[in-house]
Structure 1
Amino acid sequence: MPTLTARAAQLSATGPKTGNDDAIGLHLPQGHGLSACTLAAAIADGVSSVEGGRIAAETSVTNFLNDFFATPASWSVKTSGAKVLEALNRWLHGQGQHYQHAHQAFLTTFTALVVRGATGHIFHIGDSRLWRLRGNDWECLTTDHALVTRHGNQLTRALGMAWRVEMDYREINVQPGDLYLLTTDGIHGFVPSRELCDIVAMRSETLEARCEELLACAEARHSDDNRSCQLVEIVSLPPADKHVADESALPLLPDTLQPGRIIDGYRIEAEVHANARSHLYRVTDLASGRVYALKSPSPNLSDDPEALRAFQREDWIGQRFHQPEIIRTHAPERPRTFLYLIQDYVEGQTLRQWRGDNPDAPVETVMAFALPAVKALRALHRRETLHQDVKPDNFLVTKDGKLVLIDFGSATVGSLSENLTLRPGAAEYAAPEYALGVKRDHRADQFGLAVLFYELLTGQFPYGPGYVNAVSPGDFRKLAYTSACKQNAHVPVWLDAALSKALSLNAEHRYPELSEFLADIRTPNTALTLAGKPWLERDPVLFWKVLAAVSVVGNLVMGGWLLR
């Protein structure tokens, strides 16, 4: 039976510039699942007039290809591509907001062709281009988002330019024999369209030779820019009725699995954990001998499609991160006959269990967990991901004392639609934004992390048991923060001040960044500590000067009254 097969080549050269701000990437059909029936080519041209152009281009191409192929099979190509690019755009735009000058932004053009079945999907922003040669018909399939000025092209759209990305999306039919060319303006800005067509049509030459000829032609025409191109030839297509399996339709694993049972090449060794939402098993990969954790939805969720979609999203989100402080989720190496995900197996105990074993641990020992916890959450936030269930149960303390963040069941990516009426995770740790149904950002995870450390230090919650019942602004106004120093005399005042700020019921009063929170819980911030003290303690000299002045005025007034 025919499958999607293609040949491709790509080439990039710096040209006369000192650095290359272009980025290119290809994924030819391979393996199984989405990877076996999908082709993707992506090209980006970082804006060289800004400092982050090269990083923007490389990040966009690399992350698009990685994240796209980790999205659930139940998502359409359009949905997967759009969500990945929206998350990328938000990250690039956010990075640029850290700088005060426009030349320090992270901007790039981006064009991608994704082929699945007999349909091509084009994602495009900026002035990189996609061309098609079908027989003798030569056509540019994209429209430049740029104005031609006497100083050159001025982009009107680019990834990272605005908080919301305005991306062109187009579906096209694909046929065997089609040739697709992707170029940056270092080529098509100097080589006429007809000449590009003639080079692509050189059937006697390899695709690699044609890419070399394209770059040589751009150089001969004095291109003063980076020069990059990709050439893709469609060899065969799968039958029109052959679709990718929807993994959300896969059967769920039985309620309990006996040790020794083999699932898709994984031998069940033992059940590690089970609750109403999921089951976790220690398994051995018979092909490699490696030990993993196999996580599957609970059979109780078989009639809950939203929960099953959330499980697929957890698999996708987990595969996006390769950070020591975050549990590693692996892409499947073999077709799955059940719905599950594969993660590294980490031996240890949760932070909640650790505190149960160490109820009187010194403050320094507890707060040593702050650095890895912040590292884990910052890695998520850099890719527009909120964990949304930060609590002691979702951090593992390994046997060698390291901390690892687990469980993305409640996590969401900025580009995914979020239900503002839903309070995910445990209510005790959820920021007020969830109960109030208002927009939330990385400061919501900061709140949960501060509750976590408050509890580890005191065994209590900062706003008492009534916090979980607060659902309106009036309810929250009635709550009062209890100093951690009152709960645990060993907690220093400066640490309590940092926790209090991160635990502000108003997100605007918390730390703008987790790095600032980390700095204040590791080193005393005198200004923050004094802010919560009476005036007499903050500036005693000024206090007594003002008091003396008031006293003098008072005496004069009193004296004048007595003379009357």
Structure 2
Amino acid sequence: MSHKLTVRAAQRTETGPKATNDDALGLHLPQGHGLSAHTAAAAIADGVSSADGGRIAAETSVTNFLSDFFATPSSWSIKTAGSKVLAALNRWLHGQGQHYQHHHQGYLTTFTALIMRGQRGYIFHIGDTRLWRLRGEEWECLTTDHALNSRHGNQLTRALGMDWRIDIDYLETDLQQGDIFVLTTDGIHSFVPEKELKAIIATHSESLETRCEEVLACAASHHSDDNRSCQLLEIIDLPHAQDSQQLEYLAPLTPELRIGDTIDGYQVEQEIQINARSHIYLVKDCAQGHQFVLKTPSPNLIDDIDALKAFVREDWIGQRFHHPHIVNTYPASRARHYLYLIQEYLEGQTLRQWRMTHPEAAVETILAFAKPVVHALRALHRRETLHQDIKPDNIFLCTNGVVKLIDLGSASIGSLSDNLKLRAGAAEYAAPEYALGIARDQRADQFSLAMTLYELLTAHYAYGEYYKDCQSLSQFRKLRYTSACQYNPHVPLWIDAALARALSLNPEHRYAELSEFLNDLEHPNPQLTLHNKPWLEQNPLLFWQVTSILLLITNGILLALWLKQ
């Protein structure tokens, strides 16, 4: 008989004498399919009360850690998955707190998480929340506080959101049947003596829920003046060792499918796109009758490990976002036996297809596409994610008029999976940072969006056909921006100026925020001019009109002189 990881758990939190509760708790017990069915997790956080964003930091850290961790690729180790998720969380929290003058005033929180998989436990810890273990009669604290004692109380030396780079304690431990793990905030362990805490936990005659309540009541009796939170997890059963070794399972590639084939309960109804990188099908869920898009890596990629990792990452990143202007990617509703992802089925066409059938589209119509795309990109950027492949092919206009950003195959989170020497997406739209192998941020997506709008408006590229071949700084320096007005006289000067700024080859000269770029596309900015550009670029239509008049006058004078002779 094959044993499974079976865990019993309880948790409790209360505000105590404080006005608000800055603690946050989260549990995930084995459920569903895949690794989620073999994994248990608990996370606890204590938002720094002196920091304005402490409560938000604690809640965000617990909620996002658990959701993002269980969406990470199955090929990642526990340490890799947890570290990457926490690094992205930390950067977001730190970024939110940049307008505070002191680094102890931002979005700060302590954080401790326990992951159980197979016969091993994995601990992530920062701050002064604690993780304890009761094994038989042995009672042990498995974490170390990151705090200094002073006359004003504990002063944290490390916390999520405190610094740009994160320093997380990571620990692995074995699991045994009967182990009880306890997670507490300092509203508990700073007031309850260890002996009393152990005695309450060791009272096996009481349920875990009752023991949680007793821990909080004991802290109150010791005059705890802080929020009080604790979690208890008891291991009831563990998988056999051979079962544990099979958990790091990466599904095999999906075979080529034909109309009528069924895979994991999805029946193929239509081939949407087949290329060297991926196969995309319209499928019907046989159980629910709903239509979806099923995307698989091409069988040609069987030996391309980087490409397969990117595909798995696309599935993970897609499941992190639920936004009206980003294509929805869905988690597995049942066990997957092959490598694929499931997305919503969109009816409509890409902007490249739309432009081919609307070659005379008005400037206002084209610029209306910018707003939903900017909203989608801002949602990605708020969670440290770059799309990295913005182009007309990846902006989808649904039949109901909704614009959606699609294809997250080139997306990355922070610098966690970046290869700075790799030019992501199509070279025609990629910012120079990719070709130069230097760090990039949201301004790289801004460049690609501006290049996309430029092409939709003019049917040309802002720096010509040679741009995509540039690989060095000297080559980029030879490029010159061509005014959009030169190709499309209906483009107003102020829109051309906004595009020119967003398309600056130096990212420092672009807009600091996408919202600023959008505002300048929608409203003339008197401070943004093209005074330094030649007259031909500032207003090509007027230039040729005046030139024509001058030529006509000149020819008239020459003709008059000739007739006099």
TM-score range, shorter chain: over 0.9
Determine the structure 1 residue equivalent to 2:286: 286
* Aligned-residue offset at 1:252: 2.1
CA distance in 1, matches of 2:203, 2:464: 75
Partner residue, 2:62: 61
Which amino acid counterpart does residue 215 of structure 2 have in structure 1?
L
Specify the alignment match of 1:456 in structure 2.
Answer: 456
Distance in 2 between residues matched to 1:469 and 1:201, nearest whole Å: 69
Name the CA distance, whole Å, in 2 between partners of 1:98 and 1:269: 52
Counterpart in the other structure of 2:263: 263
How far does residue 20 in structure 1 lie from its aligned partner after superposition?
1.1
Shift of 1:335: 1.4
The whole-number CA distance in structure 2 between the counterparts of 1:299 and 1:489 is 47
For the 8 Å contact 2:103–2:162, the answer to whether it is kept is no
**Unmatched tracts of structure 2, length 5 or more:** 539-565
SS in 2 for 1:427: coil
User: Which residue of structure 2 aligns with residue 48 of structure 1?
Assistant: 49
Q: Is the 8 A contact 1:126 1:156 kept in 2?
A: yes
Identity across matched positions, percent: 67
The 1:356–1:184 alpha-carbon spacing in structure 2 relative to 1, beyond 3 Å, is: same
The one-character-per-residue Cα deviations of 1:73-113 (angstroms, maximum 9, x if unpaired) are 11110110001101111111111124455565111100000
The question of 1:202 aligning with 2:203 is answered yes
Shift of 1:244: 4.2
Paired residue for 2:241? 240
> What is the number of residues matched between the two proteins?
534
Match in the other structure for 2:332: 332
Q: Quick one: distance in 2 between partners of 1:247 and 1:166?
A: 29
**2-structure distance, mates of 1:389, 1:227:** 46
Residues 98-142 of structure 1: per-residue CA shift (max 9 Å, x gap): 445556511110000001111100000000000000001111000
Q: Is the 8 Å Cα contact of residues 28 and 41 (structure 2) preserved in structure 1? A: yes
Instruction: Answer yes or no: is the 8 Å Cα contact 1:33–1:244 preserved in 2.
Output: no
Aligned to 1:428: 428
- Report the aligned-residue RMSD: 1.5
What is the distance in 2 between the residues matched to 1:208 and 1:294?
43
- Residue 428 of structure 1 aligns to a residue in which SS? coil
- 1: CA distance, partners of 2:104 / 2:416: 30
The one-letter code of the counterpart of 1:131 is: W
Query: Conserved in 2, the CA contact under 8 Å of 1:72 and 1:247?
Result: no
Q: CA deviation at 1:258?
A: 2.2
For the Cα contact (< 8 Å) 2:6–2:238, is it kept in 1? Answer: yes
Q: Distance in 2 between matches of 1:117 and 1:387?
A: 35
**Structure 1: any 5+ residue segments left out of the alignment?**
539-564
**2:197 maps to amino acid:** L
Q: Deviations over 1:33-68 (max 9, x none)?
A: 111111100000111111111111111101110011
**Other structure's SS at 2:198 match:** helix
In 2, Cα distance between equivalents of 1:196 and 1:361: 71
Distance (whole Å) between structure 1 residues aligned to residue 337 and residue 7 of structure 2 = 28
Q: CA deviation at 1:334?
A: 1.3
TM-score by length of 1: 0.92
Q: Residues of 1 paired with 2:341 and 2:249: CA distance?
A: 11
Q: How far off is 1:359 after superposition?
A: 1.4
Q: 2 CA distance for matches of 1:531 and 1:83?
A: 46
* Matched-pair contact (CA < 8 Å) for 2:188–2:228: yes
Summarize deviations over 1:425-464 as a string: whole Å, max 9, x none.
1000000001111111111111101101111111111001
1:187 has 2:180 as partner: no
Amino acid at match of 1:191: V
2:266 partner amino acid: Y
Q: How far has the Cα of 1:529 moved from its partner?
A: 2.4
Q: Which residue of structure 2 lines up, in the alignment, with residue 307 of structure 1?
A: 307
SS of residue paired to 1:106? coil
Q: Distance in 1 between matches of 2:79 and 2:500?
A: 44
**Greater than 3 Å deviation, 4+ residue runs:** 98-104, 244-248, 530-535
Distance 2:146 2:29 in 1: 28
State whether residues 273 and 279 of structure 1, in contact with CA within 8 Å, keep that contact through their aligned partners in structure 2: yes
Q: Distance in 1 between matches of 2:254 and 2:114?
A: 36
Aligned residue type for 1:525:
N
1:28 touches 1:40 (CA, 8 Å); kept in 2? yes
Aligned to 2:93: 92
Deviations 1:175-200 (A, max 9, x none): 01000000011111111111111111
Q: What is aligned with 1:417?
A: 417
C-alpha distance in 2 between matches for 1:153 and 1:98: 25
Q: Render the CA deviation track for 1:453-500: whole Å, top value 9, x for unaligned.
A: 111111111001110111111101100001111111111111111111
Deviation at 1:254, TM superposition (A): 2.7
User: What is the TM-score normalised by the length of structure 2?
Assistant: 0.92
| Alignment partners' CA distance in 1, 2:531 and 2:184 | 57
- Aligned partner of 1:344 in structure 2 is 344
CA contact (8 A) 1:86 1:415 kept: no
